[in-house]
Amino acid sequence: MSAERSILLSFATLIGLASLSSAQQSLESAFRTTGAEVVAAFDTPRQVLQTSSAVIEQGRTQLAYGMVVSSDGAILTKASEIEGKTGLTVRVDRQAFDEVEIVAVDPVWDVALLRVDADDLVPVEYIDEDAGDLQHGTWVVANGATSRLARRALGGVISANAREIPAAGGAVLGLVMEVTDDGVRVEEVVEGSGAERAGLEKGDILVAIDGMVVGIPEDIIEAMGERSAGESIQLRYLRDDGEHDVEVPLIAREELFAEQMMTRNDMMSGAFSKRRSGFPRVIQHDILSNRSTVGGPLLDLDGRCVGMNIARANRAESFAIPAAEVREIAARLMDGEENS
């Protein structure tokens, strides 16, 4: 799928719109698909959003939504939206929690497990395990804007086939390298990359990657092979004080070079998620969310959880992790928590 090659919709000019105004009729906003009168029909799922979705904030800034997965305070959210943030607060229904612990992160799915001190939360109820993928055109409901006390719902439909979204531009370390007499030397560490997080610096000499000796930069490209964003590789490097082993998390090239890789479709899309590719499997729907309304549950008309909203890809495409995978991720992250 080449977004850049697609023919772009032309922008209507204001003059063009103004010239139509005499003969046109317009639908009041309350009756539009996202309007209050239409949204009122989603009352059952809205009740579930009220009790089982979470609002994650830092001060007055809303960062993301979350979904409650246990009565004793386990909440899933989108990891990259809260990464590096401190002083998080979480609101569920009418309760507010200022002590929030980031317990575990699944970097492949970009899901974080948060823990708040509670014992009476209402976890989401998943659809039947053997339900399979929802048919195209089936109603789904997700978080819209929120007030302090009330969650709002937005409706949409399943838009396309469930599928993998490969890391845009492939998975990268975030290193610019140069071949020197001493070996492959780091020329630059890209800001925000896994290499930077792992502590690599300009001048380090790369010795081995996943146990394989590095002779030329192509060795690294080969070792990266079919790796996905979210996975890590073992890197051994040489610095003045000797050899060091580190684990370097891989991220999507698009995430690292977001600005340089903006397409015209992106420019017409407003606030899309920073991490919006590199998911093993997603369902796609047309609920018009924005970056900070991602992370909450995706519900059916009965209010059962059919997925977890994980990315706003652009102005017209939203991705959710399917229920079966969310269930597995939640169980695995909570299990790891118990064992640690």
10 Cβ neighbours under 8 A, 6+ residues apart: none
Residue with Cβ nearer another protein (139 or 257): 139
Residue with Cβ nearer another protein (105 or 288): 288
Where residue 230 falls (left for φ over 0; alpha for ψ -120 to 50; beta otherwise) is left
Nearest CA to 64 among 84, 45, 80? 80
Residue with Cβ nearer another protein (106 or 300): 300
Least separation in angstroms between residue 96's CB and another protein is 32
Give 2: exposed, middle or buried? Use CB within 10 Å, 0-12, 13-18, 19+. exposed
Least separation in angstroms between residue 120's CB and another protein is 28
Length of the chain: 340
Residue with Cβ nearer another protein (44 or 51): 44
Contacts with another protein, residue ranges (CB under 8 A)? 1-3, 5-12, 17, 20, 23-27, 30-35, 37-38, 40-44, 135-139, 155-161, 163-164, 263-265, 268-269, 284, 286, 288, 301, 314-317
Least separation in angstroms between residue 129's CB and another protein is 23
Least separation in angstroms between residue 87's CB and another protein is 33
The DSSP call for residue 336 is H
User: Measured between alpha carbons, how far is 197 from 199 in angstroms, rounded to an integer?
Assistant: 5
Residue with Cβ nearer another protein (28 or 338): 28
Least separation in angstroms between residue 314's CB and another protein is 6
Q: Which pair of structure tokens corresponds to residue 10? A: 């032309």
C-alpha dihedral over 331, 131, 46, 292, to 10 degrees? 60
